[in-house]
Amino acid sequence: MDITIRLNDSEVKILKKRAKKNMLQLREQVEDIVRRSCINSKSGGSQVEKCDDKLIGIFSRQTAGRQRK
């Protein structure tokens, strides 16, 4: 199956740099990103917490996920 996506020059530059770091071609890098995303979405995904007060839900931070550097 072929899927077409449009990326601007800065996005392509970032992907090329990442692909070079991983010793992949640009196409292989994009396939790897999509594959990993599909695998991660199968394993539960994000969980939405139930909260009685809507303001608490709006202003509360989610600490799950990848840590910032």
The model's pLDDT over 33-45, given as tens digits with 9 standing for 90+, comes to: 999 888 877 766 5
pTM above 0.75, yes or no: no
Distance between CA atoms of residues 64 and 21, nearest Å: 27
CB atoms within 10 A of CB 29: 19
What does DSSP assign to residue 39? H
The model's pLDDT over 5-52, given as tens digits with 9 standing for 90+, comes to: 999 999 999 999 999 999 999 999 999 999 988 887 776 655 556 666
- Sequence ranges of the domains in the chain: 9-59
